[in-house]
Amino acid sequence: MSAPASAPRRIAAQSRFEAQALLSRSEQVLLALVLPALALVLLSVTDAVDLGTGDARRIDVVAPGVIALAIMATAFTAQAIMTAFDRRAGVLRLLATTPLGPGGLLGGSIGGVLVVQVVQVALLGGLAWGLGWRPEAVGVPAALLAVVLATATFTALALLLAGTLRAEAVLGLANLLFVLIAAGGAVLLPADRLPGPLAAVAPFLPSGALGEALRTSLGTGGFPAHDLAVLAVWTVLAALAARRWFRWF
């Protein structure tokens, strides 16, 4: 009898499966690529929505926000819905009999989401470049770190949601949370331009920290230490919660 695959190989195989599943579903492609691309074009070339950008160009504010929104859509909304219905269909029940385990499922899901996000960032970044966006190259490493931390956070939260609620509840709640966070989570707009208490709370949410980190690093070349720290804390808490409360069936 051959020896079981090592943990890294199991996670890599699960990552390939997750990436293929995400890219093969038309509704996920719509959520991950088509809608963010439309938002990027409409918000950057028209003034139908007042973004309050001040002296900054619209594209410099919109592009990082749309990329952050696309990352959240794939890592949280799409992953939560896909996992919830896989759980209802019994797919996760089968995975529970393998050596993968909750940690391996989380690692594979994060890896699969990151593969999809490479495609997202390349396409949306290229579209934004064509619209006149010129991100600061010195800020790219910090931006990539923010993306990895945010992906881990949102994927863990997606698995926590999908592993504790019924699929129908996950479908409604994941979409509702996506809309609420997009509207008031400092994703598309800087936190200081949000009304009332949202301006104080948003920077401590993973969505707000991701949006602010991308705007700071790619817009000014600065190092978003506060935002990265917030994302790191959320990553640890979300991963621990997913490992503790995730149910296979």
DSSP 114-130: HHHHHHHHHHHHHHHHH
For residue 35 the two structure tokens come to 């809608």
For residue 144 the two structure tokens come to 């990539």
What is the arithmetic mean of pLDDT over 127-138? 93
Specify if 1 maps to a domain. no
- CA quadruple 43, 44, 46, 51: dihedral, nearest 10: 60
Which of the four pLDDT bands, split at 50, 70 and 90, describes residue 137?
Answer: very high
Domain containing 135 equals 7-47+54-245
From CA 140, how far away is CA 218, in angstroms rounded? 6
Residue 50 has pLDDT above 80, yes or no: no
Specify if 2 maps to a domain. no
From CA 45, how far away is CA 62, in angstroms rounded? 10
Q: What is the pLDDT of residue 211?
A: 92
Looking at residue 164, the DSSP 8-state letter turns out to be: T
Domain count, the chain: 1
Cβ pair 140, 217 in contact under 8 A? yes
From CA 240, how far away is CA 227, in angstroms rounded? 20
Which of the four pLDDT bands, split at 50, 70 and 90, describes residue 222?
Answer: very high
Specify if 80 maps to a domain. yes
**Tens-digit pLDDT profile for residues 162-197:** 989 999 999 899 988 888 887 767 788 788 877 778
